[in-house]
Amino acid sequence: DQQVKQNSPSLSVQEGRISILNCDYTNSMFDYFLWYKKYPAEGPTFLISISSIKDKNEDGRFTVFLNKSAKHLSLHIVPSQPGDSAVYFCAATLTGTASKLTFGTGTRLQVTL
Amino acid sequence: DTEVTQTPKHLVMGMTNKKSLKCEQHMGHRAMYWYKQKAKKPPELMFVYSYEKLSINESVPSRFSPECPNSSLLNLHLHALQPEDSALYLCASSQVPGLAPGNEQYFGPGTRLTVT
């Protein structure tokens, strides 16, 4: 039972354009959502997060949008840069001392010149 | 220092071998995690240590034995593994147990394990 889904395994975007990565979840109890970026041969790196009390969080070129009614979140990268090429994992959790991350399957983003 | 280190980077072991994976962090974090990641799959949680005590075991087979000797160090002892245990093993840490804004998990680069 995949509670967090990223339906696009890969995405190719031109440098300077917007990259939009999507994530859907099924567990309505999730209240905290995160995006991690992973380069080959490295561990996932925390990128940006959003609490369920918000519908948008922005950090520089990265913005995460949350639509609770649709159980959908998205990561926008503007403008996209070649160094953004990586695998992006969406993750979700119910906050608390025993909470644990549930990851999506990942989307491989390639930013072309 | 926001780094989680893992050794070795690569490990090849036979099914009868005993080996250990090591994870270290010097951020003063009091929660540490082991994850397993198979190719083209998301990381899956195996164990959580909270204040050096095992708090979550995700029904992991006993051939994987975690150990937390102190607040900076986390080991994963491996014995009698199967070829299907070949995967990337990731260690992570967070300031305190649980997940909440400001208490994100920091991951190490992983150990690529191959069981022959």
* Among the partner residues B41, B50, B107, nearest to A105 by beta-carbon distance: B41
Helix (H) or strand (E) holding B64, with range, is strand B64-70
- Does residue A82 have a cis bond before it (omega within 30 degrees)? no
Task: Please check whether residue A37 is in contact with residue B105, taking contact to mean a CB–CB distance below 8 angstroms.
Answer: no
Give me the tens of pLDDT residue by residue for chain B, a chain 116 residues long.
568 999 999 999 999 899 999 999 999 999 999 999 998 888 999 999 999 999 999 999 999 999 999 999 999 999 999 999 999 999 999 999 888 888 889 999 999 999 99
pLDDT digits (tens, 9 = 90+) for A60-102: 999 999 999 999 999 999 999 999 999 999 999 988 867 789 9
**Residue linked to tokens 């949008």:** A65
Predicted pLDDT at A40? 85
Contacts of A51 in chain B (CB under 8 A): 101
pLDDT digits (tens, 9 = 90+) for A3-58: 999 999 999 999 999 999 999 999 999 999 999 999 987 889 999 999 999 999 99
- DSSP track, B8-35: -SEEEE-TT-EEEEEEEE-S---EEEEE
Give all strands (DSSP E) within chain A, no chain letters.
4-5, 10-14, 19-25, 32-38, 45-51, 56-59, 62-67, 72-77, 86-93, 102-103, 107-112
Residue in A1, A27, A88, A100 to test binding to B, most B beta-carbons within 10 Å: A100
Task: Please check whether residue B23 is in contact with residue B31, taking contact to mean a CB–CB distance below 8 angstroms.
Answer: no
**Residue linked to tokens 């997060």:** A49
